Amino acid sequence: MNNLKYDTHVHTSEVSSCGKVDANTLVQLYKKAGYSGIVITDHYTKDYFESLPYTNWQQKVDQFLSGYTTAFEEGKEVGLKVILGMELRFSENFNDYLVFGFDKEFLYENPALYDMNIKTFREFIENTQMLIYQAHPFRVTVTPANPEYLHGVEIHNGNPRHNSNNQKALDFAKKYNLKMLSGSDFHQVQDIARGGIIINEPITNSLELAKMLRQDNIQDYITV
């Protein structure tokens, strides 16, 4: 197999308040656009979890996973791989980080990750398969993180409603020898297929995604 397209930055309306497309519909859209898979990276923030009408952490995580779970089931029906990720924001600032290489149990067993900061989180995941990439590090209100705490950065963010200064992100990645990633930052129908990666072998879950990224097995970046 070759030239498999995967979008690494996709939001569902079930979880991300800024998302305008439900999980079933976005899966159908990506299948129609010729993608082999997507990574659901719904927003993991303190505001989101505190807004949920539950006191039990497991129930909160169930709700956080609802977009991914719905997309995963629809993906099985239409033949699109759906992978679990998250866009994590710590309470220290407005920076967002794409995190890969974990499963549902990690979320259940480690509550309130947003109470960490980028330094302590990187130390926390150091002996795991997890990877952390800063999303759109040169947008307004965002500050590029200390590269020592990152595995990589999003060098292309395809969201058409923001100026992500992608060239600056690319220069930053090259300067500090960071891994690179491209994603659509899908929230609305017009965001479809505006980013992603091209790989040669199919991946089916977040751990396989992290392994592939660690091995730098990206063939090309989609930069629409």
Give the chain's mean pLDDT.
Answer: 96
pLDDT (0 to 100) of residue 97: 98
pLDDT (0 to 100) of residue 193: 95
**Structure pTM?**
0.97
Non-local (6+) Cβ contacts of 139 within 8 A are: 157, 162, 163, 164, 165
For residues 46-65, give the mean pLDDT: 96
| Angle, helix 66-78 to helix 57-64, in steps of 10 degrees | 40
Phi, psi of 38 (to 5 degrees): -140, 155
Confidence label for 2 from pLDDT (cuts 50, 70 and 90): confident
pLDDT > 70? residue 75? yes
For residues 170-183, give the mean pLDDT: 98
Domain count, the chain: 1
How far is it, in rounded angstroms, from Cα 43 to Cα 86?
6
**Full 3-state SS string of the chain:** CCCEEEEEEECCCCCCCCCCCCHHHHHHHHHHCCCCEEEECCEECHHHHHHCCCCCHHHHHHHHCHHHHHHHHHHHHHCCEEEECEEECCCCCCCCEEEECCCHHHHHHCCCHHHCCHHHHHHHCCCCCCEEEECCCCCCCCCCCCHHHCCEEEEEECCCCCCCCHHHHHHHHHHHCCEEEEECCECCHHHCCCCEEEECCCCCCHHHHHHHHHCCCCCEEECC
Lowest mean pLDDT among 2-6, 16-20, 60-64: 16-20
pLDDT (0 to 100) of residue 86: 98
Per-residue pLDDT of 107-146, as tens digits, reads 999 999 999 999 999 999 999 999 999 999 999 999 999 9
pLDDT (0 to 100) of residue 150: 98
For residues 160-179, give the mean pLDDT: 97
Domain that holds residue 59: 4-222
pLDDT (0 to 100) of residue 1: 53
pLDDT (0 to 100) of residue 19: 84
Per-residue pLDDT of 88-114, as tens digits, reads 999 999 999 999 999 999 999 999 999
Per-residue pLDDT of 22-49, as tens digits, reads 999 999 999 999 999 999 999 999 999 9
CATH code of the domain covering residue 171: 3.20.20.140
